[in-house]
C-alpha cells in the first residue's frame, strides 16, 4: 500500500468551498482510502491507497465536488508520494525555513504548470523576497519584518496561480511529523 500526501487547492479559503475535515475524512474512507488523516483545514491529507498517484488524483477531483458544495473549477488536487514529499524537504535551499522568527517561508507547489511559466508571475522585491526553483515546487521566503512589502501576494490574481497551491514551511514540517509518527512512510 502506498502512502500519499494530498494537497487540495481551493478549499476553506475566504469562506468559500467549505469542507469540514471530519466530513472529508469520512468521504475519503468511504471511497476506500485507509489511514486517512488531515492537518488543519487548508486541504492537507495523508492517506494510504493501493492505487497509483494519478488514479488517486482523478478520483479525488471527481468525488470532492460530488460530496461538497464546491466551485469545482477552483479545486485541484496534488498527490505526492512519500518519497516525492521527502525530496521537497531534503532539496530545500540551504537554511530555508530554519529561521521562522525572521522569515516567512512557503513551498509553492506546481499543479500542471512548468517552472518557467510559474516563475514568470513572480517579481521578488529585493531585500524582502527570495525565491528558489525546486522540482515541482518554488521555495519562497520573505522577511517577516517587511512582510507587507512582499510581492508574493501579487501572484494570486494571475492565471498561473490557478495551477499552484501554497503551504507554509511549518505546515510541511508538521505533515512530515505526522507521517513519521504514524509510521506511514512506506510506498513509492
> Considering only CA atoms, which of 99, 98, 122, 100 is closest in space to residue 110?
122
Question: Which CATH number fits the domain 2-82, given the four candidates 3.40.50.360, 3.30.70.1280, 3.50.50.60, 3.40.50.12160?
Answer: 3.30.70.1280
Task: Count the helix, strand and coil residues of the chain and give each as a percent rounded to the nearest 5.
Answer: 35, 30, 35
Common-topology check for domains 2-82 and 90-169: yes
Specify the DSSP class assigned to residue 185. Answer: -
Provide the pLDDT for residue 17: 86
Grid cell locating 122: 513572480
Provide the pLDDT for residue 145: 93
Per residue in 135-184, pLDDT tens? 999 999 999 999 889 998 899 889 999 999 999 999 999 999 998 887 65
- For the chain, what are the domain ranges? 2-82, 90-169
> Considering only CA atoms, which of 104, 109, 111 is closest in space to residue 170?
104
**CATH code reported for the domain at 90-169:** 3.30.70.1260
Q: Given a cut of 50, is residue 49 above it in pLDDT?
A: yes
Amino acid at each position: 500500500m502506498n502512502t500519499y500526501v494530498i494537497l487540495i487547492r481551493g478549499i476553506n479559503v475566504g469562506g468559500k468551498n467549505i469542507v469540514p475535515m471530519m466530513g472529508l475524512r469520512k468521504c475519503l474512507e468511504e471511497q476506500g482510502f485507509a489511514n486517512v488523516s488531515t492537518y488543519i483545514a487548508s486541504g492537507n491529507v495523508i492517506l494510504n491507497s493501493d492505487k497509483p498517484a494519478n488514479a488517486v488524483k482523478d478520483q479525488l477531483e471527481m468525488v470532492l465536488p460530488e460530496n461538497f458544495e464546491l466551485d469545482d473549477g477552483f479545486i485541484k488536487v496534488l498527490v505526492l508520494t512519500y518519497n516525492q514529499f521527502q525530496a521537497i524537504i531534503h532539496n530545500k535551499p540551504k537554511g530555508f525555513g530554519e529561521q521562522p522568527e525572521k522569515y516567512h517561508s512557503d513551498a509553492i507547489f506546481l499543479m500542471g504548470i512548468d517552472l518557467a511559466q510559474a516563475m514568470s508571475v513572480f517579481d521578488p522585491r529585493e531585500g524582502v523576497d527570495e525565491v528558489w526553483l525546486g522540482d515541482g515546487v518554488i521555495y519562497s521566503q520573505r522577511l517577516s519584518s517587511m512582510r507587507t512589502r512582499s510581492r508574493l501576494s501579487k501572484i494570486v490574481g494571475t492565471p498561473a496561480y490557478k495551477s499552484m497551491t501554497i503551504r507554509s514551511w511549518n505546515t510541511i514540517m508538521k505533515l512530515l511529523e505526522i507521517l513519521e509518527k504514524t509510521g506511514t512512510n512506506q510506498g513509492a
